């Protein structure tokens, strides 16, 4: 098996933790894993990404353009920014909630949300949109969006791991007091 | 042995621990910081671990310990090596007794640095051997080799990794505690003919160093990290040479195609014999490198020296970009051009809609925002220059604050402000320096400005941590890398001891008093200081978050346009506060002209 996954969003959203949980889940399955991510200055509310590569015989931690099986997008505009990495026929799981950068709030740049969502819908063959506001309301927490998205990503089948694998990873990597909420987030699907 | 999923920097730390280090010292800097943090966290017990005040201090501490027979590790980022280069360049001539490895993290891109300097070039300048690992797993074994070599040749050696190795993760095999090497230092043995640098000792040791490096070049030709991989015969006259994480990019880019390959893990001393073996019978070689064209130049030299007619290509011939970080796509394009093959058609996506630019910004509630805003308000209408420095607060340059006119290197802002003052005495010059930067290299700058009769206002942004690199302690925090509680070094006392008479401390989140303090201080002659003290929001918990009363909000956008806080947005004609970002700093409450914002309770 070989899977290339990109996680992207805004610094502070928990992309790094989601990437680590997915990596740990894959390791628990016995797969080789390599990752690369943004650490440092860009974490301060800037665009961030993680490259996650699962499988054996992987030489480098970075994914080439057009080679990602799955993009887990924590933010619509950031997902569009990383779309050149998605392979033809690839999948994307995207949070519906835009995060306005300061540049847009003070009028120095624009955020055309409607166009951005339309672009995603027309360009991604297997697109899952997660209603983050609703998930936060249903779960009673704004802090587990990363695991909600990870759960949706697992259910696309493109991660090569199961919900149980991620659950195990949550138990391994998070403090016990966070287990219940994160498990709920992992299994969360909005009622239709 | 057991398996662990490790960041490159964690693997480097565990490798050093397995090599039996007795002491580790460093100064935080992306992408190097996690090495020392991991040594502290995984310390089997006997290792002295310290965040030194700067890289020069770390280098000297490690040298002293290595003189005494200890195995020592020094960690820093590439620009930190510039700070440490004074002791290093002399240490090269003196040498060490215990193994000493200088771990330097280079930052192609640069992603979080001022420069794209290449420590491989520094290695040849300082005549010290250098190891350049290509992956997390190789980093783990190679750092142990580095200690072995250092101890054998009685000289410090470099261990250089780049961001994608430092911050890459891999599941690797690591030693169990019982398999660790132990090293019991003999102690310092007095011998002034050995440990005291004098010109005659330097010239004697210089000759020995040159001889040693020539011998090492031969020896390293058979080092397992340096390898020639035979081609599959399809490209009999072509070869590709690479190093570090670019080796992985090259293999991925080749995707199974196999010209003859050369991997260089010790660019200095360059393994010449291995290079000759690689070059023999080739017509053309592509060097896939990041930062400086070190291998490209070395191979060109080897061709000249041994009369080999091989065309060496790379950065100098325009085949590889001269600057910036490489990736698989860049390497793939270069490799395909070199092999005379075309890539499969990239399915070009149609132009996406315009995307918002999203540079890093000061966090919501960051006290630096309040400090900058207070100075901006206090100095309204006056001719000013704001000299910034290295840290989160460099982000004060962004709109709408626009409060960072210069930024050069650690601690430079103070004397840059001084220099501007001497040429432009009618300008109110300000220098902003963070608390950790103040201790690292700000103090000498203040002494210089004070002694040489400058007129400037020093603003110390004291958030009680080294925030940008992930919250390491420093002399002002009263905690060490090993978690010991120690006496704090007082910024105020240091400034007063230098001779400053105006040293005022104020909470920047109290906007009006903050503005008044700056006005008062800036009006004084000479060098004066305002210390803005308020803890970093990333290490404190908010008490109460601010809310906009939509009935009162008149939609003037003053809060948004003045502060540029990422927690503030504008929706349906009203300001809106993102509850998940707000820390309750109350700055927006204090500047709202209609008192429409309330509920915030700032951190103590």
Q: Is the same domain home to B181 and B310?
A: no
Q: So what's the pLDDT on residue B347?
A: 60
Of chain A, the percentage scoring pLDDT greater than 70 comes to: 97
> What is the ipTM score, two decimals?
0.93
Q: So what's the pLDDT on residue B345?
A: 60
Asked if pLDDT for residue B203 goes beyond 60, the answer is yes
The CB density around residue B165, as the number of other CB atoms within 10 Å, is 29
Of chain B, the percentage scoring pLDDT greater than 90 comes to: 93
The CB density around residue B369, as the number of other CB atoms within 10 Å, is 25
Nearest to A106 among B248, B360, B561 (CB): B561
User: Residue written as tokens 């000299």?
Assistant: B387
Angstrom distance (rounded) from CA B107 to CA B114: 9
- As for how many domains chain B has, the answer is 4
Give the largest Cα separation in chain A, rounded: 49
Last residue of a domain, one of B539, B555, B581: B539
Last residue of a domain, one of B173, B203, B220: B220
State mean pLDDT over B132-159.
98
Q: Is the same domain home to B211 and B79?
A: yes
In which domain, by residue range, is B46 found?
2-220
SS3 (DSSP) at A79: helix
Asked if pLDDT for residue A38 goes beyond 90, the answer is no
Strand partners of residue B242: B263, B288
> Over chain B, what is the mean pLDDT?
96
Segment (H or E) for A26: helix A15-28
**Under 8 Å between Cβ of B334 and B319:** yes
Structural domain contains residue B513: yes
Q: Domain residue spans in chain A?
A: 2-187
Residues of B in contact with A5 (CB under 8 A): none
Give B86-114 as a 3 state SS string.
Answer: HHHHHHHHHCCCCCEEEEEEECCCCCCCC
Tell me whether residues B168 and A35 touch, CB distance under 8 A. yes
Task: Report which of B43, B40, B95 is spatially closest to residue B67, judged by C-alpha positions.
Answer: B95
Asked if pLDDT for residue B180 goes beyond 80, the answer is yes
Structural domain contains residue B349: no
Residues of B in contact with A119 (CB under 8 A): 352-353
DSSP B548: E
Share in percent of chain A as helix, strand, coil (round to 5):
45, 25, 35
**Under 8 Å between Cβ of A124 and A86:** yes
The CB density around residue B483, as the number of other CB atoms within 10 Å, is 9
Listed range (A3-12, A143-152, B345-354, B533-542) with the worst mean pLDDT: B345-354
Tell me whether residues B328 and A63 touch, CB distance under 8 A. yes
Last residue of a domain, one of B520, B539, B558: B539
Q: Is the same domain home to B533 and B574?
A: no
Residues of B in contact with A62 (CB under 8 A): 164, 249, 327-328
Binning pLDDT at 50, 70 and 90, where does residue A56 land? Answer: confident
Nearest to B580 among A34, A115, A142 (CB): A142
Asked if pLDDT for residue B106 goes beyond 60, the answer is yes
Q: What is the pLDDT of residues B307-324, one digit of tens each?
A: 999 999 999 999 999 999
Residues of A in contact with B167 (CB under 8 A): 36-37, 39
- Angle among Cα B106, B111, B113 to the nearest 5 degrees reads 65
Whether the predicted model's global pTM rises above the 0.80 cut: yes
Tell me whether residues A115 and B252 touch, CB distance under 8 A. no
DSSP codes, B122-135: HHHHHT--EE--SS
Q: Is the same domain home to B494 and B381?
A: yes
Residues of B in contact with A42 (CB under 8 A): 111-112, 360
Strands B597-598 and B547-548: antiparallel
Q: Is the same domain home to B413 and B487?
A: yes
**B83 CA: distance to closest CA in chain A (Å):** 21
Q: So what's the pLDDT on residue B580?
A: 83
What CA dihedral angle connects B405, B407, B408 and B409, to 10 degrees? 150
Q: How many CB pairs under 8 A join A and B?
A: 162
Q: What is the pLDDT of residues B375-393, one digit of tens each?
A: 999 999 999 999 999 999 9
**B389 CA: distance to closest CA in chain A (Å):** 14
Interface test with A, best of B353, B434, B571 (most A CBs within 10 A): B353
Interface test with A, best of B114, B139, B360, B434 (most A CBs within 10 A): B360
Interface test with A, best of B34, B112, B169 (most A CBs within 10 A): B169
Q: So what's the pLDDT on residue A41?
A: 63
**Under 8 Å between Cβ of B78 and B163:** no
- Radius of gyration for chain B, computed over Cα atoms and rounded to the nearest angstrom: 27
Q: What is the pLDDT of residues B12-32, one digit of tens each?
A: 999 999 999 999 999 999 999
Q: Is the same domain home to B179 and B90?
A: yes
Tell me whether residues A45 and B363 touch, CB distance under 8 A. yes
Binning pLDDT at 50, 70 and 90, where does residue A108 land? Answer: confident
State mean pLDDT over A165-191.
93
Q: What is the pLDDT of residues B453-492, one digit of tens each?
A: 999 999 999 999 998 898 999 999 999 999 999 999 999 9
Q: Is the same domain home to B154 and B136?
A: yes
SS3 (DSSP) at B160: strand
Structural domain contains residue B116: yes
Q: So what's the pLDDT on residue A44?
A: 73
SS3 (DSSP) at B344: coil
Tell me whether residues A77 and B247 touch, CB distance under 8 A. no
Q: Is the same domain home to B579 and B515?
A: no
Residues of A in contact with B5 (CB under 8 A): 23-24, 27, 33
Binning pLDDT at 50, 70 and 90, where does residue B538 land? Answer: confident
Task: Report which of A75, A15, A26 is spatially closest to residue A51, judged by C-alpha positions.
Answer: A15
Terminal CA-to-CA distance of chain B, rounded, Å? 47
**Under 8 Å between Cβ of B591 and B562:** yes
Structural domain contains residue B360: no
Q: Is the same domain home to B375 and B502?
A: yes
What CATH number is given to the structural domain containing B591? Answer: 3.30.70.20
Closest residue in A to B328 (Cα–Cα):
A64
Q: So what's the pLDDT on residue B162?
A: 97
Q: Is the same domain home to B216 and B250?
A: no
Task: Report which of B172, B162, B185, B160 is spatially closest to residue B75, judged by C-alpha positions.
Answer: B160
Residues of B in contact with A32 (CB under 8 A): 171
Nearest to B566 among A35, A45, A62 (CB): A45
Residues of A in contact with B346 (CB under 8 A): 65-66
Listed range (A156-160, B220-224, B503-507) with the worst mean pLDDT: A156-160
Q: Is the same domain home to B235 and B215?
A: no
Residues of B in contact with A61 (CB under 8 A): 164, 168-170, 245, 248
Asked if pLDDT for residue B604 goes beyond 60, the answer is no
Tell me whether residues A102 and B329 touch, CB distance under 8 A. no
Q: What is the pLDDT of residues B160-173, one digit of tens each?
A: 999 999 999 998 99
Q: Is the same domain home to B524 and B401?
A: yes
Angstrom distance (rounded) from CA B303 to CA A88: 45
**Under 8 Å between Cβ of A95 and A149:** yes
Q: What is the pLDDT of residues B334-343, one digit of tens each?
A: 999 999 998 6
CATH code: domain A2-187 is 3.40.920.10
């Amino acid at each position: 098996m070989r899977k290339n996954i990109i996680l992207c969003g805004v610094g502070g959203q928990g992309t790094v933790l989601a990437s680590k949980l997915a990596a740990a889940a894959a390791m628990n399955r016995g797969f080789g894993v390599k990752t690369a991510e943004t650490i440092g200055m860009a974490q301060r509310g800037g665009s961030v990404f993680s490259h996650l590569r699962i499988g054996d015989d992987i030489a480098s931690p970075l994914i080439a353009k057009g080679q990602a099986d799955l993009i887990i997008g924590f933010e619509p505009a950031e997902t569009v920014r990383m779309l050149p990495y998605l392979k033809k026929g690839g999948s994307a799981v995207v949070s519906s909630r835009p995060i306005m950068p300061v540049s847009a709030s003070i009028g120095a740049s624009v955020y055309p949300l409607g166009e951005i969502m339309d672009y995603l819908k027309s360009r991604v063959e297997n697109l899952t949109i997660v209603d983050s506001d609703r998930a936060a309301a249903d779960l009673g927490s704004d802090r587990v969006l990363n695991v909600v998205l990870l759960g949706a990503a697992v259910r696309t089948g493109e991660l090569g791991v199961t919900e149980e694998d991620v659950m195990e990873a949550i138990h391994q990597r998070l403090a016990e007091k966070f287990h219940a909420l994160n498990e709920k987030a992992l299994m969360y699907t909005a009622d239709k | 042995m057991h398996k662990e999923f490790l960041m490159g920097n964690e693997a480097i730390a565990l490798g050093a621990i397995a090599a039996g280090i007795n002491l580790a010292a460093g100064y935080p800097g992306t992408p190097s910081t996690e090495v020392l943090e991991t040594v502290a966290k995984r310390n089997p017990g006997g290792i002295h671990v310290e965040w030194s005040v700067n890289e020069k201090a770390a280098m000297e501490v490690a040298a002293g310990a290595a003189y005494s027979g200890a195995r020592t590790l020094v960690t820093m980022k590439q620009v930190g090596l510039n700070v440490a280069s004074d002791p290093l360049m002399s240490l090269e001539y003196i040498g060490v007794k215990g193994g000493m490895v200088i771990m330097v993290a280079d930052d192609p891109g640069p992603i979080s640095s001022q420069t794209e300097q290449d420590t491989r070039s520094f290695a040849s300048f300082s005549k010290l051997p250098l190891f350049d690992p290509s992956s997390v797993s190789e980093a783990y074994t190679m750092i142990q080799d580095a200690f072995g070599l250092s101890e054998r040749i009685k000289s410090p050696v470099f261990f250089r990794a780049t961001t994608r190795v430092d911050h890459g993760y891999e599941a690797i095999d690591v030693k169990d505690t019982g398999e660790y090497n132990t090293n019991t230092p003999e102690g310092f043995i007095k011998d002034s003919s050995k440990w005291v640098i004098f010109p005659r000792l330097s010239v004697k040791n210089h000759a020995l160093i040159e001889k040693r490096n020539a011998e090492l070049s031969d020896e390293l030709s058979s080092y397992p990290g340096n390898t020639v991989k035979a081609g599959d015969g399809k490209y009999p006259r072509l070869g590709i040479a690479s190093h570090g994480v670019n080796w992985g990019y090259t293999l991925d880019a080749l995707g199974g195609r196999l010209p003859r390959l050369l991997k260089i893990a010790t660019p200095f001393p360059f393994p010449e014999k291995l290079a000759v073996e690689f070059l023999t019978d080739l017509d053309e070689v592509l060097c896939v490198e990041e930062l400086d064209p070190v291998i490209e130049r070395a191979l060109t030299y080897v061709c000249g020296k041994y009369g080999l007619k091989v065309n060496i290509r790379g950065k100098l011939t325009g085949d590889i970009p001269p600057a910036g970080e490489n990736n698989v796509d860049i390497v793939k394009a270069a490799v395909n051009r070199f092999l005379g093959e075309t890539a499969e058609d990239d399915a070009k996506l149609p132009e996406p809609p315009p995307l918002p630019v999203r540079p890093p910004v000061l966090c919501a509630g960051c006290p630096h925002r309040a400090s900058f805003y207070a100075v901006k308000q206090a100095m309204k209408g006056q001719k000013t220059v704001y000299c910034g420095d290295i840290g989160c607060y460099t982000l004060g340059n962004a709109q709408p604050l626009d409060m960072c006119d210069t930024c050069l290197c650690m601690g430079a802002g103070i004397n840059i402000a001084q220099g501007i003052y001497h040429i432009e005495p009618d300008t109110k010059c300000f220098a902003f320096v963070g608390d950790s930067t103040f201790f690292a290299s700000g103090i000498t700058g203040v002494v210089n400005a004070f002694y040489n009769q400058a007129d400037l206002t020093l603003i110390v942004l004291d958030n009680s941590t080294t925030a940008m690199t992930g919250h390491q302690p420093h002399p002002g925090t009263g905690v060490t890398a090993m978690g010991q509680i120690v006496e704090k070094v007082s910024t105020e006392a240091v400034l007063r001891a230098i001779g400053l008479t105006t040293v005022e401390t104020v909470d920047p989140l109290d906007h009006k008093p903050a503005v008044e303090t700056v006005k008062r201080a800036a009006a004084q002659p000479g060098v004066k200081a305002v210390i803005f003290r308020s803890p970093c929001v990333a290490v404190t918990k908010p008490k109460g978050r601010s809310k906009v009363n939509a009935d009162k909000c008149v939609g003037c956008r003053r809060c948004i346009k003045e502060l540029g806080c990422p927690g503030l947005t504008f929706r349906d004609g009203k300001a809106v506060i993102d509850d998940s970002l707000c820390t309750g700093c109350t700055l927006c409450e204090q500047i709202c002209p209609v008192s429409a914002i309330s509920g915030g309770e700032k951190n103590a």
